[in-house]
Chains A and B, each alone.
Chain A
């Protein structure tokens, strides 16, 4: 579904052409082989990430099945507005990332490429900022799931965590899983932002063109994957108790 407008009048500059040629590694026969190999490699990496996060999702699922009331109570205390905002932020960042890949593929000038990449990074940092705020908030409320530290300071919260079948012990476990899953996710975001910085630098140096844009595309795959993990984390962690709270 590429439109002519996407590629009309596009040609690579000599600098970009040279960058593309020098990107071919000595053990590959040609760029097609290198592209196929690196794409397959990134997808394999993502598959193992699926299994890595999957272990945590399994733990979540089992304990949710065993302790539904505690899970609902813990979840209802999470700020779904912030969580929802973060979801929108990440979806926007996925869009800007896809547009960054498009910009390189369609031979757009480096300004456009860099713009979309920087937007992606900024949105990612926004996400992390909100998460930091949330974590700090939990700390203020006495909800850090560490032996001896978990003690809600707010009496209403404490009541929420100890009535209707919920127990403080099990709500603590919910928060532990919340921190483990969102923490691992945030770590992946941090790594992503660390990796996008040299890509922005290279884009500014006019390295990417329709002839060679693999690093942007492959990083994009990683970024989208991190977004997908959050797409699952948001409803599973933040929205469990909503209907119960609505019923109260």
Chain B
């Protein structure tokens, strides 16, 4: 099993590559009950991986239907009220059941205890409960979708959702409400874990930046999600009681709903991107074999994004009769919130400078992230400008902007993270050639899908419309490009699904530290034992201390307390 890659090193203890660790968290117990009643954060992460993947595929299916309709100007595939359901379902599933939970619930759950040197999260039973609550919310929402659907848009704007819509708004709202508590409990669990369960010597500023970003995300989970919960509850109660709480005809104010809704839903987008940024920090450090430039700046920028993110929600309401003075405040602060994100991008770039870069798949995804996130972020600034937003609000410009961030940003980070930690999670390597190929296909497909949408939006194509004018010929060209891109993107997404599953049976066995990387998670076996570490680690080094690759043993790693090449691992003698 020798590799021609000089970065995969020299001698290693015999036999470690021939099989998985004798007992690890995957084979510690067998049977469906050992999974459904597990308290092991790693197994819960895999439960989430399965369910989140399911919702992602379902949400993607709705996207396929949307793109098929938009191939032609006429609304000829589905009727308009059906189309309303298509984009609503796509939005609800993708936002609430994929983007918000994905990285925290899968990679966060799996890695946080490992990265800080703990045996599990602070509240393992609460963690399992979070997954069951997520599933309950999912079942309720699916029920609403299958029973007849919802057509209000994922934003549930009133008074349409409270008074006029004849669809399963209450049921879908209930699903979202229940799902919210899954998020809150996960965030609570993460904050307590990071505060109280770090291994000896693991000070705050030795933590991986993945932890910092998940901490910031958890702050948003706890502070923001309850507001969407009460808002959705109010919508449901209003549909029942018809008092007029958001109905202008009865003295209510629909903009009040929007304030309540966006107070959460804007920070929610930072929930979607912050974990991904944490992953990117890890990927770039690992695959450049270099300490993150400006570690504390990156760490604090995560907190800054979480805090500032709560001050800008009104930028979704510039054209909703919100006072122009409030609009001014929200606009200015929206520009401010871009600054910490930019700080990260600069620091990542500086990290790569003079680094020892390897272009493994995770690094490809990290590069895609940086480019696509910058485009998405900059176009967000266009939207934050009051004057410009008046023209492009509710057009495809907005749709393109947020897909660049969510797919080009969050999804790329998620995929990069899955690839980076796949060896740790499963003890297997994914096939590198296929992975690089699919990453490129995804990148091409993504840009082909969403870049034309910037142009469409700028030219005036409204969002949530299933038809567009025949006499704007460029529009159809752009829509066809977008739909073609969507097919390519879809194809690209299927490939990892296949090879990840393939790898679990046929993939090369992975060592404890394949890249190799720093971080406590790489110092335990791949896959880890149930209790994570044989011996609780004692940390005496800073985060991201890399040595020249020639000095690193594969099984060991970079950290100063581990044997260097040629050293006897037991006695340390050269």
User: Measuring CB to CB, which residues of chain A are less than 8 angstroms from any residue of chain B?
Assistant: 26-29, 33, 36-37, 40-41, 44-45, 47-49, 51-56, 58-59, 62, 66-67, 145-147, 167, 169-170, 172-173, 176-177, 180
Contact = CB atoms under 8 A, between A and B. Distances in A.
27 contacts: A28-B197, A36-B195, A36-B196, A37-B122, A37-B195, A40-B195, A41-B192, A44-B188, A44-B222, A48-B222, A48-B225, A49-B226, A51-B223, A54-B226, A54-B230, A58-B260, A59-B245, A145-B241, A146-B240, A146-B241, A146-B243, A173-B244, A173-B251, A173-B252, A176-B241, A177-B245, A180-B237
B243 A172 contact: yes
A226 to B, nearest CB: 15
Contacts of A27: 118-122, 124, 197
Contacts of B343: none
A147 B196 CA distance: 50
Interface residues of B, number: 42
A247 B330 CA distance: 42
B226 A44 contact: no
B188 A55 contact: no
A177 B245 CA distance: 9
Interface centre among A40, A45, A170 (most CB of B within 10 A): A40
B224 interface: yes
Given A47-B222, A173-B243, A173-B245, A41 B122 contact: yes
A66 to B, nearest CB: 8
B83 to A, nearest CB: 31
Contacts of B196: 33, 36-37, 40
A37 B222 contact: no
Contact of A48 (B188, B192, B197, B244): B188
Contacts of B192: 37, 40-41, 44
Contacts of A54: 226-227, 230
Given A55-B231, A147-B242, A169 B251 contact: yes
B112 to A, nearest CB: 13
Nearest to A183: B237
3 cross-chain pairs, A with B, having the tightest CB-CB distances, nearest first: A55-B230, A147-B242, A52-B226
B234 interface: yes
B128 interface: no
B229 interface: yes
Interface in B202-248: 222-227, 229-231, 234, 237, 240-245
A160 B124 CA distance: 55
A146 B240 CA distance: 8
A147 B122 contact: no
A37 B252 contact: no
A147 B119 CA distance: 54
B253 interface: yes
Given A28-B197, A40-B196, A52-B229, 20 more contacts: A29-B536, A37-B193, A40-B191, A41-B123, A44-B191, A51-B226, A55-B260, A58-B259, A62-B256, A66-B251, A67-B251, A146-B242, A146-B243, A147-B242, A167-B251, A170-B251, A173-B250, A173-B252, A177-B245, A180-B234
B140 interface: no
B184 interface: yes
A41 B223 contact: no
B145 to A, nearest CB: 26
Contacts of B241: 145-147, 176
B250 A48 contact: no
Nearest to A25: B124
Contacts of A172: 243
* Of B225, B241, B253, most A-chain CB atoms within 10 Å: B241
Nearest to B228: A55
B267 to A, nearest CB: 11
Contacts of A58: 259-260
B188 A169 contact: no
A66 B226 CA distance: 25
A169 B243 CA distance: 8
Contact of A51 (B197, B224, B240, B253): B224
A169 B244 contact: yes
Contacts of A36: 195-196
A56 B229 CA distance: 11
Interface string B255-281: 010011000000000000000000000
Contacts of A167: 251
A28 B119 CA distance: 8
Contacts of B243: 145-147, 172-173, 176
Contacts of A62: 253, 256
Nearest to B113: A27
A62 B251 CA distance: 12
Nearest to B243: A176
Given A37-B197, A40-B195, A52-B227, A59 B119 contact: no
Nearest to B40: A27
A138 to B, nearest CB: 14
Contacts of A33: 196-197
A48 B223 contact: yes
A172 B244 CA distance: 9
A172 B223 CA distance: 31
Nearest to B241: A146
A228 B241 CA distance: 28
B239 to A, nearest CB: 10
A47 B250 CA distance: 33
B89 to A, nearest CB: 26
A48 B226 contact: yes
Interface string B165-193: 00000000000000000001001110111
Most buried by B among A53, A55, A147: A55
A191 to B, nearest CB: 14
Contacts of A66: 251, 253
